[in-house]
Amino acid sequence: MSTGFDDVSNGEIVRTLRGLQDEIRALRGEHVRRDLYEAHKAALDAELLRVDLRCQTDLARLEREVEARERDRLTMRRQMFAISFAAALSLLCSLILFAIK
C-alpha cells in the first residue's frame, strides 16, 4: 500500500522547504516586531505633542502681536483725530481773529 509520499523525492522536499524559508524571510521583511512598532509609535506621538505645543506657543505669540498692533493702530487713529481737531480749531481761531481785525 502506498501513502502517496513514496513518489516525492528528497530534492522536491528540499526545494519545498527552501521555498517556505524564502517566503518566511520575505514576510519578516514586510512586518515589524511589535515592540519596535510600539517604540516608533511612542516616538511619533511624542514628536506630535512637541509640534502641537510649539504651534500653540507660536499661535499665542502671534495673537499677542496682533492685539498689540491693533492697539497701536487705534492709538494712532486717536492721535490723528486729536491732531486734526487741533488743526481745525487753530484754523477756525485764525479765521475768526482775521475776521475781527
Does residue 51 lie in a domain region? yes
Identify the pLDDT of residue 6. Answer: 63
Tens of pLDDT, residue by residue over 22-63, are 888 777 766 777 888 899 999 999 999 999 999 999 999 999
CA 74, 78, 84, 85 dihedral sign is positive
Query: Which residues, other chains included, contact 40 with Cβ-Cβ below 8 Å and sequence gap of 6+?
Result: 32
pTM of the model: 0.52
User: In this structure, what C-alpha cell is assigned to residue 9?
Assistant: 523525492
User: In this structure, what C-alpha cell is assigned to residue 31?
Assistant: 512586518
Tens of pLDDT, residue by residue over 62-88, are 999 999 999 999 999 999 999 999 999
Which residue range(s) make up the domain with 64? 12-75
Query: Which residues, other chains included, contact 32 with Cβ-Cβ below 8 Å and sequence gap of 6+?
Result: 40
Q: Position of cell 510600539?
A: 38
Which is higher by pLDDT, 56 or 10? 56
Does residue 18 lie in a domain region? yes
Does residue 2 lie in a domain region? no
What is the count of structural domains for the chain? 1
